[in-house]
Amino acid sequence: MFTAIYPGSFDPITNGHLDVIGRASRLADRLVVGVLLNSNKNPMYPIEERVEMTREAVKSYPNIEVTHFDGLLVEFAEREGARIIVRGIRAISDYEFELQMALMNRRLKPDLETVFLMAGEQYSFVSSRIIKEVARLGGDIGGMVPPHVEALLKARFEKELTK
């Protein structure tokens, strides 16, 4: 059983994440999507909601599990029996930070490989941060996040505007 881990903050999950998830699910027998509990990005959604939104988005994949983790990614990967960490690369600007993380993770657990997958080019500009900003300002985020996430974001910001 070849297990891969796809970690992230998923605040919220986007179609760019889903594109990478789809690709990774075809490479591994089992893909564990790990939602980071204490992201230093100060998440907008609590962990339960991020896990729930992510679960809903991947429910059609039989070989994907969604769970949360805290602490070191390499420890989580080991607990799950994963041999690879999957990360998505959108543009060259992602590379520097991703390389730094991958090399640190390799230093911590030399047997664990990081594999970079290129998200579809139509998602090269999509990030959770920019999606939240556009949604907050009433812009159209259709096609960039799954429909249930779009509905949740709209409802949240409509409520904020009417406060």
**Spatial contact of 21 and 31, defined as CB atoms under 8 Å apart:** yes
8 Å CB contact between 68 and 36 = yes
Q: Which of 36, 131 has the CB closer to ligand PNS?
A: 36
Q: Residue 33: beta bridge partners? A: 6, 66
Determine if 72 is a binding residue for ligand PNS (CB under 6 A): yes
119 contributes a contact to ligand PNS by CB under 6 A: no
Smallest separation, CB 33 to ligand PNS (Å): 11
Instruction: Find the shortest distance in angstroms from Cβ 149 to ligand PNS.
Output: 15
Q: What letter does residue 137 receive in the DSSP assignment?
A: T
Q: From the candidates 9, 17, 25, 50, which is the catalytic residue?
A: 17
Distance CA 126, CA 124 (A): 6
User: Can 17 be counted among the known catalytic residues?
Assistant: yes
Least Å from the CB of residue 65 to ligand PNS:
17
Q: Are 66 and 55 in contact (CB under 8 A)?
A: yes
Distance CA 163, CA 160 (A): 5
Phi, psi (degrees; rounded to nearest 5) at 3: -105, 135
Is 136 one of the catalytic residues?
no
Each residue 78-107 as x (binds ligand PNS by CB under 6 A) or -, in order, gives -----------------------x--xx--
Residues labelled as active-site residues: 17, 41, 90, 128
Which residues of this chain interact with ligand PNS, rule CB under 6 A?
A: 7-9, 36, 39, 41, 72-73, 101, 104-105
